[in-house]
């Protein structure tokens, strides 16, 4: 777990408009190959802004992002399109991420076609393989996206993310809309896929219990800044920042004085 994949340095983004907001300020972090960095913080702390910058969905105002030794923010045109294969995403609301009238087949064929992976006659077999890797039955490919359950839809979103064989997946509140049982199953699937494929995850959530379950390291964000960073066990056992202490106190089973009722 020591090959550096992602290196973020001094990243800054302010939104302009009626109420100008500095969303992220001097954000620096690293992510190794095969590693999960959990990014946790209260709502509005800048987590999604950081995710959008890394996915090149918005431009930052300053700072540097190195991905696999490449200056990510300098990429344009074809090199950027090729890079998009290597950095995928899973968001909270899979319905918003898909055309709801599309079938599961369409949703998974898109990334293969867009990135020129395989050929048309091979698509059904490729899609069957993807469904199998995320624990879904092959028959599901004929169903429409809005006719399957939320948990199944999030599995399809994960299948779509791994379709391009990425190095890294940015997961932004990916399990936050799921009920507790399905959430656990999706987290298990993510851990299993990481083990099988050597994926790196930037796993974003406002929920420290979820972050703790999957992360090797944890970074805590508040008001646009990383206020604490360290091994997952150390951050949850002995948080050094005020924000960290508040997040830990909110999870009863991380709190030795609290009741183990979670």
Ligand X SMILES: Nc1ncnc2c1ncn2[C@@H]1O[C@H](COP(=O)(O)OP(=O)(O)O)[C@@H](O)[C@H]1O
Please, which of residues 33-52 interact with Mg ion by CB under 5 A? 47-48
**Site membership for ligand X, residue 15 (CB under 6 A):** yes
Q: Encoding tokens for residue 49? A: 């802004």
**Site membership for ligand X, residue 48 (CB under 6 A):** yes
Q: Helix or strand or coil: residue 63?
A: strand
- CB neighbours of residue 46 within 10 Å: 25
**Site membership for ligand X, residue 60 (CB under 6 A):** no
27, 40, 47, 168: residue in contact with ligand X (rule CB under 6 A): 47
Q: Which is nearer to Mg ion, 83 or 177 (CB)?
A: 177
Closest residue to bound Mg ion by CB: 48
Shortest reach from residue 146's CB to ligand X, in Å = 26
Please, which of residues 42-101 interact with Mg ion by CB under 5 A? 47-48
With beta carbons less than 8 A apart as the criterion, state whether 176 and 92 touch. Answer: yes
User: Choosing among ligand X, Mg ion, none, which partner's interface includes residue 17 (Cβ < 5 to 8 Å by kind)?
Assistant: ligand X
**Site membership for ligand X, residue 41 (CB under 6 A):** yes
User: 183-220: buried (b, 16+ CB within 10 Å) or exposed (e) per residue?
Assistant: beebbebbeebbeeeebbbbbbbbbbbbbbbbbbbbbb
Residues in the chain: 262
**Site membership for Mg ion, residue 236 (CB under 5 A):** no
**Site membership for ligand X, residue 44 (CB under 6 A):** yes
With beta carbons less than 8 A apart as the criterion, state whether 47 and 21 touch. Answer: no
Please, which of residues 147-166 interact with Mg ion by CB under 5 A? none
User: Choosing among ligand X, Mg ion, none, which partner's interface includes residue 2 (Cβ < 5 to 8 Å by kind)?
Assistant: none
Which region, judged by CB under 6 A, interacts with ligand X, from 14-22, 65-73, 81-89, 231-239?
Answer: 14-22
User: Choosing among Mg ion, ligand X, none, which partner's interface includes residue 244 (Cβ < 5 to 8 Å by kind)?
Assistant: none
Q: Encoding tokens for residue 181? A: 């049982």
**Site membership for ligand X, residue 205 (CB under 6 A):** no
The number of helices, as runs of H, and strands, as runs of E, in the chain is 10, 10
The interface mask with ligand X, positions 21-40, x = CB under 6 A, is x-x-----------------
Rounded to whole angstroms, what are the CA distances from 32 to 43, 93, 163, 198?
Answer: 26, 27, 21, 10
Strand order in the sheet with 200-205: 87-91, 168-172, 200-205, 36-40, 217-222, 225-231
Q: Encoding tokens for residue 203? A: 């796993």
CA distance 136 to 165: 18
Shortest reach from residue 53's CB to Mg ion, in Å = 13
Q: Which residues make up the interface to Mg ion (CB under 5 A)?
A: 47-48
Q: Which residues make up the interface to ligand X (CB under 6 A)?
A: 15, 17, 21, 23, 41, 43-49
């Amino acid at each position: 777990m020591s090959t550096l994949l992602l290196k973020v340095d001094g990243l800054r983004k302010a939104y302009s408009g009626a109420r100008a907001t500095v969303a992220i300020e001097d954000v620096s972090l690293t992510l190794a190959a095969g590693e999960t960095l959990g990014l946790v913080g209260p709502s509005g702390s800048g987590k999604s802004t950081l995710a959008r910058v890394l996915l090149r969905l918005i431009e930052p105002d300053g700072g540097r992002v190195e991905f696999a030794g490449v200056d990510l923010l300098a990429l344009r045109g074809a090199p950027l399109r090729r890079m998009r294969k290597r950095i995928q995403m899973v968001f909270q609301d899979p319905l918003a991420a898909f055309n709801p009238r599309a079938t599961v087949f369409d949703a998974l064929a898109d990334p293969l076609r867009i990135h020129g992976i395989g050929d048309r006659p091979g698509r059904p077999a490729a899609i069957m393989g993807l469904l199998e890797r995320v624990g879904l039955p092959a028959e599901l490919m004929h169903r429409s996206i809005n006719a399957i359950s939320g948990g199944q839809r999030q599995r399809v979103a994960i299948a779509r993310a791994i379709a391009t064989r990425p190095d890294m997946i940015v997961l932004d509140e990916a399990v936050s809309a799921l009920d507790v049982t399905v959430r656990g199953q999706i987290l298990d699937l993510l851990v299993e896929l990481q083990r099988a494929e050597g994926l790196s995850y930037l796993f974003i959530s406002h929920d420290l219990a979820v972050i703790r379950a999957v992360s090797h390291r944890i970074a805590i964000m508040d008001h646009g800044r990383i206020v604490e960073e360290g091994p997952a066990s150390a951050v949850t056992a002995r948080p050094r920042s005020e924000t960290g202490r508040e997040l830990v106190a909110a999870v009863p089973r991380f709190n030795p004085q609290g009741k183990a009722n979670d």
